[in-house]
Amino acid sequence: DTEVTQTPKHLVMGMTNKKSLKCEQHMGHRAMYWYKQKAKKPPELMFVYSYEKLSINESVPSRFSPECPNSSLLNLHLHALQPEDSALYLCASSQDLRGGTDTQYFGPGTRLTVL
């Protein structure tokens, strides 16, 4: 089973709202990722968690706040977003970052629209 689930599938929010995206995997993976994908562009890495600790932040604005409450769950808290933050937000997970190769498996994404 290589399933990563994401909720909600679609989200519309105003610029003053606070919302959260959720990602879950039950593959025993210890690394989890957030990517952002604008229309007709490739995915871009935002954050990496390794063993529930933030290991990479790709200079993402503070209005995006990731959280990894346990090894199976990854959240992305959103606050005071701008219309240009509208995008497909993808979650991925992988087994282990430490040595060898590490295949990432992606969820279906959350389509976010900021009004």
Partner 1 sequence: DAKTTQPPSMDCAEGRAANLPCNHSTISGNEYVYWYRQIHSQGPQYIIHGLKNNETNEMASLIITEDRKSSTLILPHATLRDTAVYYCIVCPGGTSYGKLTFGQGTILTVHP
Nearer to partner 1, 13 or 97 (CB): 97
Among 27, 60, 80, 88, binds partner 1 (CB under 8 A): 88
The rounded distance, in Å, linking the Cα atoms of 62 and 1 is 34
Nearest-approach distance from CB 64 to partner 1, in angstroms: 18
Check if the beta carbon of residue 105 is closer than 8 Å to that of residue 94.
yes
Instruction: Tell me the site size for partner 1, rule CB under 8 A.
Output: 30
Among 22, 63, 65, 105, binds partner 1 (CB under 8 A): 105
Nearest-approach distance from CB 6 to partner 1, in angstroms: 8
Q: Count Cβ neighbours within 10 Å for each residue of 31-63 and write b for 16 or more, e otherwise.
A: bbbbbbeeeeeebeebbbbbebeeeeeeebeee
* 90 counts as binding partner 1 under rule CB under 8 A: yes
